[in-house]
Amino acid sequence: AAQPTLDVLSWLDARVKEALVECYGPELRDAPSLVTLATKPDFGDYQCNVAMPLAKQLRSAPRAIAAELSAALRLDGVCEPPEIAGPGFLNLRLTRAFLTSELGKMLADDERCGVAPAAPAQRVVVDYSSPNIAKEMHVGHLRSTILGDTLAKLLEFLGHDVLRLNHVGDWGTQFGMLILHLRDEAPAVLAGEAQLELSDLVQLYKQSKARFDADEAFQRDARAEVVRLQAGDERSLSAWKALVEQSEAAFRQVYETLGVDPRLQTRGESFYNPMLPEVIATLREASLLQESDGAQCVFLDGYKNREGAPQPMIVQKSDGGFMYSTTDLAAVAHRVKVERAQRVLYVTDAGQAQHFQQVFEISRLAGMVPEGVSLEHVPFGLVLSEDGKKFKTRSGETVKLTALLDEALARARADVTARLQAEGREESEEFIAKVSHAVGIGAVKYADLAMNRNSNYKFSFDKMLSLSGNTAPYMLYAYARIRGIERRVAQELGGEGGVQSEEGAVKLLLLEDAELNLARHLLRVGEVVREVERDLLPSKLCEYIFELSSKFNQFYESCPVLQAESAEVQRSRLALCQVTASVLRLNLGLLGMEALEAI
């Protein structure tokens, strides 16, 4: 069975804590160890900065503390004896023997690359994508879909039990006016006898809104329709279902093109409708409700509107209707109680930060959330057009996602065809279609994921499809190139199909600096994945593989593989190629991209 590699960062953390207790007593058991990655390669691989802040507390010189810790640290051959630097840093360098044996484990574990599963595993709900019925899915939903899908994959890879939920906006007062309007304009649609394009549905939605705003009688009827719908009236419900189905068919098309995990389960706002009265009752019992202008509200300290007046969360309007927030409170309760979630992630635009803060706080105050359960908003910035403005078509309309993805595919195909032609290659239509899809869709996803999600990003086809820089095409080519090298060497070695991956079969020789540097970086993969598990920033995976490919290039330039000086060295270098390819494939997979063997 595959053996996981050591999580060096947390292992060092534990060793420093031990040394602290040994040197200065049990009071220091909970002191932070301040072990980090080295800020410069000159400082080694890791550094420990604990001596400086301790100096005052221990009334001693930081360098003296560093020396005492250094003597007490039991590094078991993982690191060279520490070096004391500057005011009292401890510089830690992994030993060659340790790197060699860890890389051996990675070589034997093509699938997980030595990354240990999380212990304990958690039940995690990831709420993502979540578009709205009868509206176009916009680029914000695209971001949520891509980010959420990646986070779900990563958490699942670490062994967590992940439930993917699509909190579709399929409920609310807008459906009253929409159904009413469709009864006049398109009765066959409501009867399920005719299909509407989503864009027509959106048009009809806009018209119904205009009618609602202009016509009082229509307004009254629409409200009555909502009441009928929410009370479960057959005729209303079946009309509503027809609408939902048509929108969802359009969403599914986008998901399919994007390759979103099919286990993403639609559980829209309507699902929680029967639970809403109970939410109000719970809030009332917890004495959190207050009436304001006929509406039921929860006032929390610290939430103010622009004028500085207290900003409550409204949970029930004066006409009895419930709100987006009421549904979210019901969803928290359901996810925690019925789904037994220990961690719930909400992937939405940063504009909803305050909404979620309030929902989390209120659900805790109301006793809906047991201790130890973590509710986390995973916010992201806006998608802007290249000129930094709102992302719109030239005529000022919202960009349709299907059109956007189609364009990415068409551009990728043009790029791929041109490149094949330049290389004088003739490939089958099947090959071209496959590569264009991987490049085009990969480019859209990667461009989104490579950005720190908290920032706004500018959507640029030219940039995301560029062959240079931290882009999908670059990474896909990097992977295919390594696979190509492996194939050629394997041929040379007599068609063995690569080095054997059982442990001990290959003797890894990390002789050159470039080999050591590559090995060090490869070994960090687990650390990076676990970091993303905590801070939910997939951009760190992209940074990591981008750096990996540059480390690989340095290695490949200074350490010939095809022309290696001996068969032994060649085998070892081929093994490094293999581990690099596996680590790349693993990361691309987590990023929702397909690593192609040839491109």
Closest approach of ligand ARG to the CB of residue 115, in Å: 30
Cβ closer to ligand ARG: 189 or 331?
Answer: 331
Closest approach of ligand ARG to the CB of residue 464, in Å: 24
CA distances from 9 to 6, 97, 531 (A): 9, 18, 11
Closest approach of ligand ARG to the CB of residue 495, in Å: 53
Would you count residue 130 as binding ligand ARG (CB under 6 A)? yes
CA distances from 475 to 311, 478, 488 (A): 47, 5, 20
Task: Find the part of the chain contacting ligand ARG (CB under 6 A) among 2-10, 125-133, 175-183, 460-468.
Answer: 125-133
Instruction: List the x/- string, 85-124, binding to ligand ARG by CB under 6 A.
Output: ----------------------------------------
Closest approach of ligand ARG to the CB of residue 355, in Å: 7
Would you count residue 499 as binding ligand ARG (CB under 6 A)? no
Cβ closer to ligand ARG: 20 or 331?
Answer: 331
CA 147 to chain centre: 4
DSSP class of residue 313 equals: E
Residues 275, 336: contact at Cβ < 8 Å?
no
| Cα–Cα distance for residue pair 127/161, rounded to 1 Å | 14
Binding-site size, ligand ARG (CB under 6 A)? 10
Closest approach of ligand ARG to the CB of residue 249, in Å: 18
Cβ closer to ligand ARG: 267 or 411?
Answer: 267
Would you count residue 132 as binding ligand ARG (CB under 6 A)? yes
Would you count residue 157 as binding ligand ARG (CB under 6 A)? no
Would you count residue 156 as binding ligand ARG (CB under 6 A)? no
Cβ closer to ligand ARG: 114 or 169?
Answer: 169
| Cα–Cα distance for residue pair 485/492, rounded to 1 Å | 11
> Which candidate, 6, 79, 527, 524, places its Cα nearest to that of 69?
79
Would you count residue 127 as binding ligand ARG (CB under 6 A)? yes
Cβ closer to ligand ARG: 155 or 542?
Answer: 155
CA 402 to chain centre: 22
| Cα–Cα distance for residue pair 148/162, rounded to 1 Å | 11
| Tokens (6 digits) for 594 | 């397909």
Q: Which helix (H) or strand (E) holds 83?
A: strand 83-85
Strands 313-316 and 295-298: antiparallel
Instruction: Provide the b/e sequence for 393-423 (b: ≥16 CB within 10 Å).
Output: eeeeeebbbbebbeebbebbbebbeebbeee
Closest approach of ligand ARG to the CB of residue 507, in Å: 53
Looking at the DSSP bridge assignments, the partners of residue 345 are: 126, 376
Closest approach of ligand ARG to the CB of residue 145, in Å: 11
Cβ closer to ligand ARG: 130 or 572?
Answer: 130
Closest approach of ligand ARG to the CB of residue 328, in Å: 5
Instruction: List the x/- string, 165-184, binding to ligand ARG by CB under 6 A.
Output: --x-x---------------
Closest approach of ligand ARG to the CB of residue 410, in Å: 28
CA distances from 161 to 157, 164, 479, 530 (A): 10, 10, 30, 16
Task: Find the part of the chain contacting ligand ARG (CB under 6 A) among 84-92, 130-138, 148-156, 174-182.
Answer: 130-138
Strands 265-266 and 383-384: unpaired
Would you count residue 316 as binding ligand ARG (CB under 6 A)? no
| Cα–Cα distance for residue pair 278/274, rounded to 1 Å | 8
Cβ closer to ligand ARG: 73 or 329?
Answer: 329
Closest approach of ligand ARG to the CB of residue 446, in Å: 24
Strands 161-166 and 265-266: parallel
> Which candidate, 327, 302, 300, 303, places its Cα nearest to that of 315?
327
List of long-range contacts for 489-492, beta carbons under 8 Å, 24+ apart: 489/561, 489/562, 489/570, 489/574, 489/577, 490/574, 492/562, 492/570
Would you count residue 268 as binding ligand ARG (CB under 6 A)? no
Closest approach of ligand ARG to the CB of residue 293, in Å: 24
Residues 501, 107: contact at Cβ < 8 Å?
yes
Cβ closer to ligand ARG: 380 or 459?
Answer: 380
Residue list 335-364, contact with ligand ARG (CB under 6 A): 346, 348
Cβ closer to ligand ARG: 55 or 133?
Answer: 133
CA distances from 507 to 56, 107, 573 (A): 49, 11, 10
Cβ closer to ligand ARG: 375 or 447?
Answer: 375
| Cα–Cα distance for residue pair 384/24, rounded to 1 Å | 54
Would you count residue 273 as binding ligand ARG (CB under 6 A)? no
Closest approach of ligand ARG to the CB of residue 134, in Å: 12
Task: Find the part of the chain contacting ligand ARG (CB under 6 A) among 109-117, 126-134, 191-199, 372-380.
Answer: 126-134
Binding site for ligand ARG (CB under 6 A): 127, 130-132, 167, 169, 328, 331, 346, 348
